[in-house]
Amino acid sequence: MKILGVDTGIKKYPIYIDNSFSMIAEAFEKAGLKDRKMCIVTDSNVAPLYAENIKELLKDVSKDISVCTFPAGENSKDLDTISDFYRFFVEKHLDRKSVLIALGGGVTGDMCGFAAATYMRGIPFVQIPTTLLSQVDSSVGGKTGVDFMGNKNMVGAFYQPELVFINTATLSTLPYREVAAGLAESVKHGYIQDKTYLDFFMDNKAAIKALDDSAIAEVVYGSCKIKSYVVSKDERESGLREILNFGHTFGHAVETLSDFNMLHGECVAVGMLAALYLSMKRGAVSQKDIDEAKALLEYFELPVYIEGFDPNKIYAQMFNDKKTKNGVINITALRAMGDAYTEKGCTEKEIKDAIEYIIK
């Protein structure tokens, strides 16, 4: 087991990374979460796989653990589901000392975290992320929330958990397409912050794809370390945190124009190639770097180009991105491999050339 300490300046908490749930009760006790009412918030896919097991393992930590299940999928990520949660919590008499447990992917974590941030003005919660995306990305950083009127994550709060417990063995039940989407975000962490971590992907891609225990533990640990470092320097996203947006300004536009038929991580994969191309044109990275990125993403069965998209529409869509301020498209680019920054001065031609690069 590996343990990573996160210090946001406001709150300190541990991230446990293991290949089983056997240490979970100890982790709760260490965090001071004993003899309290608890509620596992989970979705309809994850509940039958893991909820009873967690309840059983925590039976000496709490005698009163309920399970609140919602229909799996991004369509549930709204205020109606949050209202259902509140109703469930009231029926179960959860109080300010009670603990919510987010068991599932990013949708579960974002919603359970938001419910925890707002129920009775804030109660403790624990993250048990079960998708690779949630293990390497969404469970770290404290962003919680729901979609509203078709806008992703429009209503939410920054709220940190008491602890994060990652059991990488849960990935064995996750469809590979979802695993790959998570790998795109973890590869991103290498590009923006840590060339050694990126090299680990290049050198161990077969073991990673096969979900080999020690390889996947390295991936999860490395990503959590990079993401928690970046967010701890900038909890409220005023500066450094923007580098986490690498590949995302292009990616979000593709995601929207695909009508969300492509997974977020898949769009980030092609988006990163566009950002790498733009960085290459500025002399920051080489053609070989791009070829290697493409080969790696392709190996993980992630898309490396898109078909049937109008480049002008992608460009226009980029102006709607949350990170586009005062009509200026902000692109996270690389200064070098493992060193990202936000470029506010890209020309229309530069951006359009990068879009053309990923369109077949």
Which residues belong to the active site? 121, 143, 185, 227, 237, 241, 245, 248, 252, 264
The one-letter code for the residue type at 317 is Q
**# residues contacting ligand NAD (CB under 6 A):** 28
CB nearer to ligand NAD: pick between 144 and 317: 144
CB nearer to ligand NAD: pick between 104 and 338: 104
Q: How far is the CB of 42 from ligand NAD (least distance, A)?
A: 9
Cα separation, 50 vs 258, in Å, equals 32
- What phi, psi does 154 have (nearest 5°)? -75, -30
- CB-count exposure of residue 86 (10 Å: 0-12, 13-18, 19+): middle
Given a contact cutoff of 8 angstroms between Cβ atoms, the answer to whether 109 and 130 are in contact is: no
Q: What is the pairing mode between strands 65-70 and 99-104?
A: unpaired
The contacts of residue 170 (CB under 8 Å, 6+ apart) are 49, 50, 130
- CB-count exposure of residue 7 (10 Å: 0-12, 13-18, 19+): exposed
Kindly state whether residue 77 participates in binding ligand NAD, applying the rule CB under 6 A: yes
Q: How far is the CB of 167 from ligand NAD (least distance, A)?
A: 9
> Which residue in 6, 38, 107, 280 binds ligand NAD (CB under 6 A)?
107
- Segment contacting ligand NAD (CB under 6 A): 43-51, 119-127, 205-213, 342-350? 43-51
3-class DSSP assignment, residue 282: coil
Kindly state whether residue 133 participates in binding ligand NAD, applying the rule CB under 6 A: yes
What does each C-alpha distance from 332 to 65, 186, 286, 338 come to in angstroms? 44, 16, 17, 12
Cα separation, 329 vs 238, in Å, equals 16
Kindly state whether residue 130 participates in binding ligand NAD, applying the rule CB under 6 A: yes
- Segment contacting ligand NAD (CB under 6 A): 68-76, 114-122, 272-280, 332-340? 68-76
Given a contact cutoff of 8 angstroms between Cβ atoms, the answer to whether 82 and 110 are in contact is: no
Q: How far is the CB of 256 from ligand NAD (least distance, A)?
A: 13
CB nearer to ligand NAD: pick between 259 and 348: 259
> Which residue in 4, 13, 28, 43 binds ligand NAD (CB under 6 A)?
43
Kindly state whether residue 118 participates in binding ligand NAD, applying the rule CB under 6 A: no
> Which residue in 62, 127, 131, 160 binds ligand NAD (CB under 6 A)?
131
Kindly state whether residue 110 participates in binding ligand NAD, applying the rule CB under 6 A: yes
Kindly state whether residue 54 participates in binding ligand NAD, applying the rule CB under 6 A: no
> Which residue in 25, 38, 41, 46 binds ligand NAD (CB under 6 A)?
46
Helices (H), the chain: 24-30, 52-57, 79-91, 106-118, 132-133, 176-193, 195-203, 205-209, 213-233, 248-257, 264-281, 287-299, 311-318, 348-358
Kindly state whether residue 53 participates in binding ligand NAD, applying the rule CB under 6 A: no
- Segment contacting ligand NAD (CB under 6 A): 51-59, 103-111, 272-280, 286-294? 103-111
CB nearer to ligand NAD: pick between 228 and 317: 228
Residues 165-224 that bind ligand NAD (CB under 6 A): 170, 173-174, 178
Kindly state whether residue 74 participates in binding ligand NAD, applying the rule CB under 6 A: yes
- In sign, the C-alpha dihedral spanning 167, 302, 357, 201 is positive
CB nearer to ligand NAD: pick between 54 and 174: 174
> Which residue in 124, 141, 161, 303 binds ligand NAD (CB under 6 A)?
141
Q: How far is the CB of 201 from ligand NAD (least distance, A)?
A: 19
3-class DSSP assignment, residue 352: helix
Rounded-to-10 torsion of CA 319, 323, 328, 330: -110
For binding to ligand NAD (CB under 6 A), which residues are involved? 43, 45-46, 49, 72-74, 77, 104-108, 110, 130-131, 133-134, 137-138, 141, 143, 152-153, 170, 173-174, 178
